Amino acid sequence: AQTVTQSQPEMSVQEAETVTLSCTYDTSESDYYLFWYKQPPSRQMILVIRQEAYKQQNATENRFSVNFQKAAKSFSLKISDSQLGDAAMYFCAYRSYDTSGTYKYIFGTGTRLKVLA
Amino acid sequence: NAGVTQTPKFRVLKTGQSMTLLCAQDMNHEYMYWYRQDPGMGLRLIHYSVGEGTTAKGEVPDGYNVSRLKKQNFLLGLESAAPSQTSVYFCASRTPRNEQYFGPGTRLTVT
């Protein structure tokens, strides 16, 4: 079964600095999707960035980028020029394809990011 | 475009009571999901639906039932609530590109 591991329960970063959140996963699939979601105190889950495993190029969305290492099964999120509004829980997620032919999603336990003014 | 909405936002139940959580999406998505989120844990999938009239079990389905009578609605039912079902419940729908959009969540407390 696929698993997603976020080994950093909490991280802190100074405003305007750069921070990297780690995520590793385990799978025997060759084609899959990976995601980072943000959950601010409002609890709304918001998609930050997605990566298709078949693409070698790392995904980028404005100040957010990923370092996708397929062989190492690593998918880290880099936040540049951190802003106070980036403070939230960040979840890494993997899309699995089960034997019934349906896609399901597996989430890590989250990393709480604090942004210090 | 409201996206994904959930009703109610908060609810307190006594053990043994029943209730239904409603999820609605206006994005014409085929796939819809119900998750629960407990402290210190990631989201866990309860049930999901790949289209109108279809449902399937996820990772933690026991104690819950679902129905998808209309494409835009996905209902989650608790027939006999237990304290272990105290949680925050999230509904989501997804695009053909596998991007999930989540509702704001329902905080359920079972006493």
**Contact with chain B for residue A108, Cβ under 8 A:** yes
For B42, the closest of A33, A42, A109 (CB atoms) is A109
pLDDT tens digits for A55-113? 888 999 999 999 999 999 999 999 999 999 999 999 999 987 766 667 778 999 999 99
Inter-chain touch A44–B48, beta carbons under 8 Å: no
**Contact with chain B for residue A47, Cβ under 8 A:** yes
For B41, the closest of A45, A50, A109 (CB atoms) is A109
Q: List CB contacts of B96: < 8 A, sequence separation 6 or more.
A: none
Per-residue pLDDT of chain B (111 residues; tens, 9 = 90+): 679 999 999 999 999 999 999 999 999 999 999 999 998 788 999 999 999 999 999 889 999 999 999 999 999 999 999 999 999 999 999 988 888 999 999 999 999
C-alpha Rg value of chain B to the nearest Å: 13
**Contact with chain A for residue B31, Cβ under 8 A:** yes
